[in-house]
Amino acid sequence: MATPFSHPEFQHHPFEDAPLNRDLYLMGEQWMPEYEAAVVGMLKGKAFQTVGYISYASIRRVNPNSLEISWYPNLNDRFHEVSILLPREAFVICVGCPNYDERPHIFVKDSWLSSLHLRPYSAFALIDAIGVRTALRDGSLNSESLMRLRSRIDDIASSATSVSFVSFADSLLLKSNWFVGQYDSNISYSYEPEALIRLFPSIADAFQRELGMEVYAAITQGVNEYNDSSPHHISPSGNHISLNSLGLPFAQLLSIDDAARTAIRAGRHEPKELYIDKKLFHSLHFQHDFDKIAQPKAPYSAPMFSDLDEYYYLDCDTLLSNLQPQK
């Protein structure tokens, strides 16, 4: 059996020496023979024939058993970046043809790539009330106001049925699932993080009116290890509630919240209403004259990945006034 990509113009990149911080493509291994034939034909003077389907990506770090990758499921009408891990066992081969401007292609197991496109992903917002400890100490919180707040949240939730609302202590967790889809499936791209952000004013108003408290939110998105299309699970007995959440975005919420609190206490930046993970922030549908890159940001440590990440901090009115109108 012939060795794949044996033509001398092909440049091979072993797993341990995968090209970092370069634009490249993810491709299913089923397309290897056709892609190789198309490139070899081009090298012989034939017109290049596009084959298969690609996903845009860039490798950020090589770990012993995985590659940390920035994956771009949508570059058409958003700059949508998602951090993923490619396990060593799903890696097949990485080849490029630099003398002919052919970017590196990482061929991966078809089952892994299909799962990447068809699994559910999640967006989260963690909304915290400010001043709860003081209110408890002063005795200004009472059962009636808390019950009214719960009813207000019920009303808000009834108008956003695709979002799960979970109240606990002085916090409210919002979760919605989204999908990427694949060319041969009936699943379509459904990422719309603006929907979570647009819920913030009504939730903030509920806390202010019923408890006299302001709130802030940490917001992020990404891979959810639960392969369940529903954003939550309620047991038949009704007394077990699962958020179907495990993975980077859920852990990021707490890291962003902790980093923002630390930065505010240290005087590195002032308090704001929203603290948004950089990847989600860049993916928003902003108006074209809004300079999103110039907005203030600060570092935080993203769990499960090696490098520091960043969050943007700003008030909700500033953000909403610069989003494109709802369709």
- The domain segmentation of the chain, as residue ranges, is 11-117, 119-321
Q: Which fold has domain 119-321?
A: Alpha-Beta Plaits (3.30.70)
On the question of pLDDT at 134 being above 90, the answer is no
Quick: pLDDT tens for 226-266: 776 777 788 888 878 887 777 677 788 889 999 999 999 99
Per the DSSP assignment, residues forming a β-bridge with 216 are 128
Digit-coded pLDDT (tens) for 259-311: 999 999 999 999 999 999 999 999 999 999 999 999 999 999 987 776 789 99
For residue 157, CA distances in Å to 76, 141, 154, 172, 174 come to 31, 23, 5, 12, 10
Q: CA angle, 34 as apex, 32 and 35 as ends, to 5°? A: 65
Give the pairing type, strands 102-108 and 215-223: unpaired
Residue corresponding to tokens 């771009």:
72
Q: What CA–CA distances, in Å, run from 6 to 10, 11, 42, 95?
A: 7, 9, 15, 10
Checking if the pLDDT of 80 tops 70, the result is: yes
Q: What residue spans of 159-296 are helical by DSSP H?
A: 194-211, 248-265, 278-283
pLDDT at position 1 is 58
Going from the C-alpha of 315 to that of each of 204, 275, 281, 320, the distances in angstroms are 12, 9, 13, 9
Q: Residue 169: its pLDDT value, please?
A: 67
Average pLDDT over residues 112-137: 90
The mean pLDDT of the chain is 91
For β-strands 171-178 and 163-168, DSSP reports them as antiparallel
- Read off the pLDDT band of 25 (50, 70, 90): very high
pLDDT at position 247, please? Answer: 65
